[in-house]
Amino acid sequence: MRQVYMDYNASTPLSTNVKTVLSYWMDRSYGNPSAGHWAGTEAKKAVEKARSRVADFIGAEPGEIVFTSGGTEGNNHVLKGIYELCGAKPCHIITTAVEHPAVMEPCRYLEKHGAVVTYVGTDSYGRVNPFDIEAAITKDTALISVMHANNETGTVQPIEEISAIARRFKVPFHTDASQSLGKIPVNVNDLGVDFLTIAGHKIYAPKGIGALYIRKTAALSPLLHGASHETGRRAGTENVLFTAALGEACADAASIDITEVQRLRNLFWELLQQNFPLRVHRNGHPVHTLPNTLHVRFTGITGQDLLQQMPFLAASTGAACHSGSVELSAALRALGLTEQEGAGAVRFSLGPYSTDEDVFAVIEALKQIL
């Protein structure tokens, strides 16, 4: 059968314009942006142009953008950088029970080094209550970190409401926007955040490039130490090739027709309900959700077995099955699903290259299996 890609939340293909930029800079990006000669000057111009494009995409100033190796580095930078600023003082961090491992694991690491972390729960849709965040704040709270949108269920968090609370208590606020960029509006001033994480491979740029927004009034210790790259905030010679690609990707993402992607997602859900009304259930928030994401669970079959019987389809499960036991993801556990319910979970995530034919192909295959 034709191959069908429905795993855009995991990674996206390179856009046509990004491929063009990569091809152009392949033979021109060898100069070190820190060098004073013509090759270095050309490379630096490419980096600064990309910085401006990323800033424009999220409503920031160019000087507030720091290029990173991806979302994981950005999240680690914020969490560990804030912890370093605490010094000998107690350090309390508030996050949620549905965060990506790129936030959860640094938090667990910091707990081993003396930080106190509060993991706020969610409702049955995976959405956090801002008042629960407020109730968790103490005099030692140094950071609040809440993802903009969940990578599995697609549930969008009330970032604006949480940021208002953070400002009232004068607590720095970070959001991981890796999953929301290019799908819903992301403006750092509208969201009211001090730090925001970007992952390039989620918005049609290569893997291995990302950016971190640091509000100009926010303090943050560097994660990497070395020379004075990125105005001393991130040591290491800039990846000119991928940085230029990220700038182009941000310009591309701003022009994506997300309403067409949402139409396909809705069509897919309607057909699933029509054909398997007793065997399919939707997870995540029905309204506050990413327009491209459909997270469902099937009864009577595990998501792992289902996808194994559909080798033409690229999609993701929400549970790992090992020797008869089921290990649910943090997002599924937060929804209150049982192991049996969670075992049948599958995340379908669509993008601008998805088609009606893709949806119909998957539905026909599911008819044969279910």
Catalytic residues: 321
Q: Which helix (H) or strand (E) holds 94?
A: strand 92-96
Its sign, for the CA torsion 197, 186, 209, 67, is negative
Alpha-carbon distance of 276 to 84, in angstroms, equals 52
Q: Give residues with Cβ within 8 angstroms of 92, minimum separation 6.
A: 115, 116, 117, 118, 138, 140, 141, 142
For the chain, the 3-state helix, strand and coil shares in percent, each to the nearest 5, are 40, 20, 40
SS3 316: strand
- Torsions phi, psi for 295 (to 5 deg): -110, 115
Copy the structure tokens of residue 156: 């969008």
User: How many other CB atoms are there within 10 angstroms of residue 220's CB atom?
Assistant: 22
Burial per residue of 116-147, b for 16 or more beta-carbon CB atoms within 10 angstroms, e otherwise:
ebbbbebeebbbbebebbbebbeeebbbbbbb
Alpha-carbon distance of 73 to 103, in angstroms, equals 10
